[in-house]
Structures are given as C-alpha cells and as structure tokens.
Structure 1
Amino acid sequence: MHAPRSTIYPPGQAEPIPTGYPYLAAPAAAPAAAPVVVVVVPPGSVLQPIQPWTTGLLDCMSDVENCCVTFWCPCITFGQVAEIIDRGSTSCGSSGGIYLLIWWFTFFQCLYSCTYRSKLRAQYNLMESPCPDCCVHLCCEPCALCQMYRELNNRGFHVAAGWYANAQRMNPVMQSPVVQHIVR
C-alpha cells in the first residue's frame, strides 16, 4: 500500500511539491566545506616554517669538484650524503655499495636515492620543489645528488669527511687539561 499523498504549495511558488511515498524529497545538500587540516605538534616542540633549498637544482657547477665526482661516480656522492642524513647509522661505503648494486641490476637507483631526499627535507623542513622527490631523482639524478650535497655543506657539514668527523667538529668532547710536571 502506498502512503497518502499530500500537496504543499511553498510560499511564492505556483507549482505544488508532492510529498509522501513515492515522491520523497531528497534532503538539500549542505554547502561544501573546506577540508580540515589537523597538525599535531608534540608538547615542547616548535613548528618550523617550510624553507627553500639554499641552492637550486641546476646549480651543479657552483661546486665543480662535487659535480665531476657525481657525474662520473654518483655512488660516492650518494654514500657521503646518506651517511650524514642517517647520522652515522649507515656508512658511506655500505650506502654507496647498495646504490651501485641497484644501479647495475635495475637502473632504478633513483627510487633509493629519492628516499634520502625525503629524509633530508624532513630533517630541515625543506620545500618539495621543483616537483616531488622521486620525479626530481628520476629526471635529473646527478643534479639532485649535487643539490643534497650542497645543502648539507651549506648547513655546516663537511660532507666528504663523514658523520663522525662532523660530529666531533660540531660537538667537541671536553678534554681534561694537560698537567705539566716541572723537572728540576
């Protein structure tokens, strides 16, 4: 059985609006709201603004030595950068070796190196520019490696020296004073 129909005449409208089954009116759509973005900041931390890279992607020739090393043997530059980004938990040799093996067997070393670009961006709150990290490494791997190397250099690291030399240079351990004995 059908529910009885009734007719409603809205104010200012000549046509009736049927109500009841089978003419159930669809509810009016709510206006589209802007998406809500929630940022969770741990207590005691400060939210840093996103910063630009200190050098451009195509500024490779600003460090000619690194540009040449990266062009001829990118696994060396990658290993040096990875050791600093990982704060010494991986060595230059092991990271460079993995990069080299991936390059030899798959030609997709850019997928490995783009993860380190993402780590570097997260550590220093850098922009993802000029395009997503994997696209940068896929299209211009040597330039991306050189830019990462220069970024770490510009932030005070001597990348070629490795993590431990940089850690000692930046945080020297207090040494006990040398006691001199006078011999008579």
Structure 2
Amino acid sequence: MATKMVIQQPKPLVVAPGSDQWSTSICECDTVNDCCFALWCFPCFACITARDHGECLCLPLLDAFGLIPPITMSMRVSVRRTYGIEDSLCNDCVYACCCGPCSWCQIRRELKARHHPVTLFHNRAK
C-alpha cells in the first residue's frame, strides 16, 4: 500500500479591494499617527505619500504656488485612475482646495488598502 506525502500546504485566500469606490471617506481616520502626521507636518506627509505612489518626492511642494493645488488634484485623479475609482474631477478639485490634508490622508489610506491585501485564512503549523 502506497502512502501519499503532502509536500505543499494550501495557500491562504487573499482578497484585495477591487471596488470602484474609495475604501474610506474623506474625513475618516484609520490611524491617529497618519492623521497627526498630516496635520502637524503636512508637506512631509504629502511628499512621502507621493513617493509611495511612484511620483517625485518633492512634487507636492509645488502646490504652494497656485490657487487650486494642482498636485493634490493630480494625485487624486492618478489614484482614482490607477484603481478604477469612480468619482468626478469636480470633487477632486473641491477636496484639493478645501480639504488638502484630509485629501492626502484619503490617498494614503487608499494606497495602504490596495497594496496590503487582507488575508482571510491563515494556516497555523501544528
């Protein structure tokens, strides 16, 4: 009688967000650290978030030279297009002008949600 030996354990099921909506609202705060960092050192927070999205580290610093922050608006549009999020350019403009730090926090949360999938099943070794 032959016995079968299991060489490979089953892989965990991973579900990545694939929604066509933002994973969080504009004023939602998932970690106090990110919210405080955005509030107290907004330029650094925006630059790090831009870098994590693959853009130039210092790109958000150009927002200081315009009435409508073009970089904040562009980053929102870029994140929306990258992840297929349905929203309007008008909303992007309003959020960029009126809620800059909150907008960057939402972008940061979205990057985290889309790059760090949730593991639903974890097989513990016994």
Q: TM-score range by the shorter chain?
A: 0.5 to 0.7
Matched, 1:55 2:24: yes
Work out which of the two has the higher radius of gyration on C-alpha atoms and give 1 or 2: 1
Contact 1:70–1:146, Cα closer than 8 Å, also in 2:
yes
Contact 1:111–1:138, Cα closer than 8 Å, also in 2:
no
- Give the RMSD, CA atoms, in angstroms: 2.5
Query: What's the counterpart of residue 84 of structure 1?
Result: 52
More helix by share: 2
Higher relative contact order (CA 8 A, sep 6+): 2
Which amino acid in the other structure matches residue 115 of structure 2? Answer: G
* Percent identity between the two aligned chains: 28
Please, which runs of 5 or more residues in structure 2 have no aligned partner? 1-17, 117-126
Matches within 5 A, 1:113-152: 113-128=72-87, 132-152=91-111
Contact 1:70–1:142, Cα closer than 8 Å, also in 2:
yes
- Determine the C-alpha separation between the residues in 2 that align with 1:102 and 1:136: 14
Q: TM-score, normalised by structure 1?
A: 0.47
Query: What's the counterpart of residue 182 of structure 1?
Result: none
Change in Cα spacing, 1:68 to 1:52, as seen in structure 2 (3 Å) is same
Contact 2:73–2:93, Cα closer than 8 Å, also in 1:
yes
Q: TM-score, normalised by structure 2?
A: 0.66
Paired residue secondary structure (1:52): coil
Q: Which residue, out of 32, 36, 57, partners 1:64?
A: 32
Paired residue secondary structure (1:55): coil
Number of equivalenced pairs: 99
Matches within 5 A, 1:91-110: 92=57, 94-95=58-59, 99-100=60-61, 102-103=63-64, 106=65, 108=67, 110=69
Please, which runs of 5 or more residues in structure 1 have no aligned partner? 1-48, 158-184
